[in-house]
């Protein structure tokens, strides 16, 4: 069985991606910092006959994230697809949103840690084995502000744009080696209850785009705006 590791797994986008890949024969490694929530996701997937296991790690703790991915690879016999999409559903201490005028090195650095450094660490944990096998995929998620900046999210957009740049650059150098790197920018509020005037979409409607990126590999980037 191939395995997808979902970093930043939660009951929204992460669960929907797990269902899409799981329905196509993948086992699922779920990585996040809350063991209780992960256990609930594992149980939900089991109800749909999808094999999943939970591995706890805080993505701001890069050694712990690397260890979780290594444990997942050992448990399942390897990782064939990495999907990285951490999104705070509750306030994260030290991580705040600031507009361009309010962006400072101090409030930008945590966003860099959260969006870019975690993604790079996760990729490095699984990429050597993929290159050895000549097969695999690395999928990364940002908001659409990484492509078209949103003034409300000046520091977030800067960090996300850095991740986007690195992913597209990574895919360029992976061409011809059997490993694909793709970026999905989501320009909607996921689920109901979003701010007025901002379009929304359900995670289950967005998740198939990840399969399209993985399967088709004809474009390293997809932007979803509803």
Give the residue extent of every domain in the chain.
Answer: 3-224
- Sequence-ordered alpha helix ranges (H) in the chain: 13-22, 35-46, 62-76, 105-111, 118-133, 154-174, 203-206, 208-216
Place of tokens 């990285």: 84
H/E stretch holding 29: strand 27-32
Report pLDDT for 166.
Answer: 98
pLDDT at 94: 66
Local structure of 138: helix, strand or coil: strand
pTM of the model: 0.93
pLDDT in tens, 102-129: 999 999 999 999 999 999 999 999 999 9
For residue 128, how many C-alpha atoms fall within 13 Å in the half-sphere facing its CB? 7
End-to-end CA gap in the chain: 33
Question: Which residues of the chain have a pLDDT value below 70?
Answer: 88-94, 192-197
User: What are the tokens at 77?
Assistant: 């016999």
Number of Cβ within a 10 Å radius of residue 63: 9
Specify the pLDDT at position 62. 95
Pairwise CA distance, residues 39 & 44, whole Å:
9
* pLDDT at 197 (0 to 100): 60
Residue 189: the pLDDT is 75
Q: Which fold has domain 3-224?
A: Rossmann fold (3.40.50)
Q: The tokens 């705070």 sit on which residue?
A: 88
């Amino acid at each position: 069985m191939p395995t997808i590791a979902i970093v930043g797994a939660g009951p929204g986008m992460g669960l929907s991606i797990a269902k899409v890949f799981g329905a196509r024969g993948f086992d699922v490694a779920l990585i996040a910092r809350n063991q209780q929530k992960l256990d609930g996701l594992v149980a939900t997937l089991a109800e749909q006959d999808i094999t999943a296991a939970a591995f706890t790690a805080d993505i701001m703790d890069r050694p712990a994230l690397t260890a979780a991915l290594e444990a997942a690879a050992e448990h399942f016999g390897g990782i064939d697809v990495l999907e990285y999409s951490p999104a705070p559903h509750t306030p994260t201490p030290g991580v705040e949103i600031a507009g361009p005028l309010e962006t400072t090195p101090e409030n930008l650095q945590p966003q860099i840690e959260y969006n870019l450094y975690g993604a790079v660490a996760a990729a490095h944990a699984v990429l050597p084995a993929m290159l050895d096998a000549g097969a695999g995929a690395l999928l990364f998620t940002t908001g659409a502000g990484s492509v078209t900046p949103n003034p409300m999210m000046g520091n977030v957009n800067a960090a996300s744009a850095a991740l986007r740049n690195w992913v597209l650059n990574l895919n360029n150098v992976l061409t011809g080696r059997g490993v694909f790197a793709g970026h999905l920018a989501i320009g909607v509020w996921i689920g109901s209850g979003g701010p007025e005037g901002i379009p929304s979409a359900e995670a289950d409607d967005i998740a198939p785009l990840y399969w399209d990126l993985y399967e088709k590999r004809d474009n390293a980037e997809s932007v979803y705006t509803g």
